[in-house]
Amino acid sequence: MSYQLIDGKQIAKEIRAELKEEVSQLAEEGLKPGLAVILVGNNPASETYVRSKIRASEEIGIHSRLIRMEETVQEEELLNQVKELNEDPAIHGILVQLPLPAHIDPDKVIATISPSKDVDGFSPVNMGKMMIGQNGLLPCTPYGIMQLFKRTGISLEGKHAVVVGRSNIVGKPMAMLLQQANATVTLCHSKTADLAHHTRQADILVAAVGRGEMITKEFVKPGAVVIDVGMNRNEAGKLVGDVNFEEVAPVCSAITPVPGGVGPMTVAMLMKNTVTAAKKLWQRAK
Ligand code: GUN
């Protein structure tokens, strides 16, 4: 079977181009969106993600501020930094890169970010709004995946979507958004019995487990759409997804590659959320 390669890199590029255009119009009206990124410690993966977020901001014309804090920073100091940014009129988006060191409670940090500046969409207020279908800021990765469906013309209505992974960042919000788009959703996780039985029912399969290439062809129904959220290093140090691409691609109708699938969309939607937050805050201040 021939499959469609869902080109997240290209779609993300189009979204960034649209945003760049919008940001230049906003500049004429006197608004320059601003994003603050807080990076605690020097986890190499976090360094890479943060760098791509800052680079995307610069390319689009979003003002960006990178705030680095020592691995040993006290929780209170981090909370005070967030509170300061909550009050800063030049900053419309605040992102604290995860994971945080073990002595810091991420829930407390996330809950301190003003919901109107929470461009990751992780705060209890934005999560709650999503749950009841109200307009808020959406978590970037699931939001980006919904854009992939929209912009490649993959319909969700009446489809059986199976999400593997129940993280707050991806799995749970993904299940919610798919359901709101009229898919029937099954949410699987590490304790699911006979996982392959469930995933083989999927018209749409979203893999967000964090285990390199664990989704082999036995997990996939022929003709399914497969979305791979994984970012893992294999023994050879190569970046691989949660899906065994070589094996799975020939049996599905469409699939995202790693790299170049979901990853670039996460960054693009962060930019989109920053522009959305800036416009809302600006309207409110008028
Ligand atoms: N760590 C891994 N993914 C993410 C993300 O989307 N946002 C933040 N803040 N940290 C992350």
pLDDT digits (tens, 9 = 90+) for 156-166: 999 999 999 99
Q: Specify the pLDDT at position 150.
A: 98
pLDDT per residue as tens digits for the range 70-106: 999 999 999 999 999 999 999 999 999 999 999 999 9
User: Model-level pTM?
Assistant: 0.97
Q: Specify the pLDDT at position 286.
A: 81
Q: Any known ligand binding at 263?
A: no
Q: Check pocket membership of 273 for ligand 1, CB cut-off 6 A.
A: no
Q: Check pocket membership of 97 for ligand 1, CB cut-off 6 A.
A: yes
* b/e code 268-283 from CB counts within 10 Å (16+ = b): bbbbbbbbbbbbebbe
Q: How far is the CA of 252 from the centre of ligand 1 (A)?
A: 29
Out of 7, 120, 203, 228, pick the active-site residue: 120
CA distance 36 to 93: 6
Q: Is 59 helix (H, G, I), strand (E, B) or coil?
A: helix
Q: Specify the pLDDT at position 137.
A: 98
Q: Specify the pLDDT at position 48.
A: 96
Q: Check pocket membership of 118 for ligand 1, CB cut-off 6 A.
A: no
What contacts 24+ positions apart, CB below 8 Å, involve 113-117? Answer: 113/82, 113/86, 114/86, 116/277, 116/280, 116/281, 116/284, 117/85, 117/86, 117/91, 117/92, 117/93, 117/277, 117/281
